[in-house]
Structures are given as C-alpha cells and as structure tokens.
Amino acid sequence: MNYKVIVDSCGELRDEMKESGLFETAPLTMEVGGVRIVDDVSFDQTDFLRRVAECTESPKSSCPSPEEYMKRYCCDAERVYVVTLSAELSGSYNSAVLGKNLYIEEYGKKEIHIFNSCSASIGETLIEPFELSVLYSRIQAVLRRTGNVAVQYLSCDGIKIDLNRRTATCGTEEIDLSVSEYELLLYLLQNKGKTVTREKILEQVWDVNGNYVNDHTLTVTMKRLRDKLHQPSCLKTIRSVGYRMEDTI
C-alpha cells in the first residue's frame, strides 16, 4: 500500500472506497443530552434530530483528537493525505497537524500531507481510478481559488520547502541552509518554471532588506546552495541571464 487518504466529516466515502483499505474516516462527534453520537456509518439522522428537539440544551460537537489522527497515521502507507473541514469551522485541521507532530516525535519522519478544505465539504470529487499527482493538483487548485489560504509547501522534483517550519529537504534529507541560501531557494521555487535574472534575484533576495551586495555574492551563494542540494538537475543556469527551477521528473 503506497498511500492512504483520511477525511473527517467533510467527506463521505463510497462502499468501494471503504472496502479498498485506502480510505478512512476520522469522524467528528456530537453530544446531545449527555449522549455521545459519532458522525460515522452508525449515524441516525432521524434519531439525532429527535434528541435535539427533546433536549433543552444546545448540542455540542467535537473534532477528532490529535491522538486519534496519530493512530490513523500508524499504517503501512508511505504517504498519507488528510482532508479536513475548514479550519474556520472546526479544530479538525489543527488536530490533524498536531497528530502529525506527535507521530513524528514518536516514530520519525513520514510523508503526511494535510489539506484545509476551506469548506463544510470536500467540494471536489475525483472519479477513480486517478493518479496521486492529479489528486494533489486538484487539492492545490481548490486552495488557490479560496485566495486566503497560504500554501505550506513549495517543491521541485525532490526538493521541498516547508514555509511554516522554514525548513528545506532534498528527498528525505533535511538540508541545513543559511538565511541567504534559504531565501534564494524560496525565491526560485516561488518562480518555478520561470527564468529569473541575476539582477532580479539580487533585488528580491538581498536589496529588498536594504542590504547592498555585489554580483559575486549571488554566485557564491548559488554554488553553496547547489552543493548542499547535491547538484540538482532541476536548478538550471540560463547563461548570461540568470536561473530557472523546473520539474524534470
């Protein structure tokens, strides 16, 4: 099993999805009159509405705990994809992130990708069979359309930046970068697929902070960055112009 997809109450799985073993639900729970109701296949809407009508107190809801998410990350899958209710509506997204941190502390690194749906439902449906790259592209497209959601990761081939943690990895290896090396890589990834001139890089990476540097500084910093990233083929020199990062695989 190469991947696993986890959804909270923002998604509803078809029977074939449940049977495949590739999909799993981390349901929210509700409490009405002291009775705990789980929003899963056992949920009885008629009974729930009856209890709400009879109860003098407002129903309460709770999202899956970080520990519950962590348990679901403990699987044979190499990659785990999690889609949650909007972080503006539920704490499920934060729980999923905290669960990831707990997993890493306990078991070490694993590819766990968590997506805030920015909705009360997933909003996008993929018709199976599908490629994981298509899944990732669709989710990123939804996030871009919202306009108010920051992308956490930028990547090119096996090189990836985590914007929240301000870390860079090459494959599974975390790379120790200086501030200028990190900012240079960040600017190149933000402009992936575009040729950026040396002048523009100097302006955006150094001069924007009021730090004057000469052209040689960029050359040295680029060399150090390439060495630390093991001379990646996706980082290209455009002779007499500048540089470009583009996917090669």
Whether pTM exceeds 0.85: no
What pLDDT sits at residue 125?
Answer: 47
E strands along the chain, which residues? 3-7, 23-25, 29-32, 35-38, 60-62, 79-84, 111-116, 153-156, 159-162, 167-170, 173-175, 195-197, 235-238, 242-245
161-193 confidence digits (pLDDT tens): 998 888 999 988 999 999 889 999 999 999 998
For the chain, the average pLDDT equals 83
56-70, 107-121, 151-165, 228-242: segment of lowest average pLDDT: 107-121
40 in helix, strand or coil?
coil
34-43, 184-193, 194-203: segment of lowest average pLDDT: 34-43
Q: What angle, 0 to 180 degrees and rounded to 10, lies between the N-to-C axes of helices 215-228 and 179-190? A: 90
User: What's the token pair of residue 234?
Assistant: 């996706």
What pLDDT sits at residue 249?
Answer: 61
73-94 confidence digits (pLDDT tens): 999 898 999 988 877 777 888 8
* Residue 141 pLDDT greater than 70, yes or no: no
